[in-house]
Chain A
């Protein structure tokens, strides 16, 4: 389906939906990367598991924070239309 046509037809809601989807893609890429690197590091140095886990969660939390801002903007688009 033509994206422009979709946006024209659905208006703000469509835009907000696309935005939420993009935010989810960003979160997936970011957190996936963190998980990948963390697993690699744990495989290399299993003894530093605790440090790696704590830092992994902090990094994932920071990525999530950025994603939440995207999602909040999408919600604002819907509610403050």
Chain B
């Protein structure tokens, strides 16, 4: 028996090593062994888990589907507000402890947990929960979203989506953690560069300062100056911030084995960025910018009812497309990379493990190729976002000299 156990240990170590080497290519591990255990491999589920936001940074799972299943992940703080239970703050690991242990042990296991609300009507009965759902106090985590338990359970609608109410979720999710990480990285890098300039003046840059100086000059000379014109200095801080933020977030999404951040592939993040550009365009729009929207020059007055709505639509159209472009490009890149990896497991599930092994070299080659392509896209999308923002600012501050021959 002892020999068998040590054999198992060696096999486990080998499997972990294979998983770790696989995960060098992409951010997190899919349900590796599911093909061997009779469960079908669900590529859509795997890709969804990666693309969507989550309440933890998940690296991989050991002993998948077995009683001693271990999730290797970083828990993140969950911050919830609901009218019934008020504010609640606890670590997301509390949900996963609740699965194996009884609810009474929660507060011991969670590193930091708010007191379980006293007026909880009924503790959720774990047997009532659908598979994949985790309960903690009155909250149920199901498919990366938190719901309020109703009579201790989760009501699923006909389409498989829960009908329960959701609390106001202000948690530090995976995306928010990724944004914080980007903040910290950028702050440290730029502070070091700024100190170097302070210390030795404007001389030849050293070390990482080289990269930053090249990129900053690129944004200033290639993006801001030609697109905005003489008033470019006012917008340079925003353009630099947005460029470096998007670029860092895009690169974070490509670094494997750190949990697979998909920050700029989240439409809420890109919406916020595009909203900043929109607000700055509107706030800095001069008289000529607004008059072009509401009193298009050189156009017969009869066409005003037709043209003004189109101009107003165009005003909102620009940030909308800005939002969609970044979101769609980054999400599509992640999906393609993950699909190539998923091919291994799809073949493995269809034709046995040998087919999976045979597929993996080709799959890995394509994955590496796509990763390199995404490196280009990461830079290009940051550039395009900044360039288009600069062009919109340029349109807003441009001084028109109207004449009869003015052509649009």
Contact = CB atoms under 8 A, between A and B. Distances in A.
A51 B226 CA distance: 9
Nearest to A72: B324
B227 A54 contact: yes
A58 B321 contact: no
B325 A64 contact: yes
What is the predominant secondary structure among interface residues of chain B facing chain A? helix
Interface stretch (B185-193, B197-205, B352-360, B383-391): B383-391
B325 A54 contact: no
A57 B384 CA distance: 7
A65 B325 contact: yes
A65 B387 contact: no
Interface in B302-352: 317, 321, 324-325, 328
A58 B387 contact: yes
Interface residues of B, number: 13
Q: Main SS of the interface on chain A?
A: helix
B325 A57 contact: no
A31 interface: no
Contacts of B328: 68, 71
Contacts of A50: 222, 226
Q: Which 9 A-B pairs have the closest CB atoms?
A: A65-B321, A68-B324, A61-B384, A64-B325, A68-B328, A57-B384, A61-B388, A57-B387, A68-B321
Interface of B: 222, 226-227, 317, 321, 324-325, 328, 383-384, 387-388, 391
Interface of A: 50-51, 54, 57-58, 61, 64-65, 68, 71-72
18 contacts: A51-B226, A54-B226, A54-B227, A54-B387, A57-B384, A58-B388, A61-B321, A61-B325, A61-B384, A61-B388, A64-B321, A64-B325, A65-B321, A65-B325, A68-B321, A68-B325, A68-B328, A71-B328
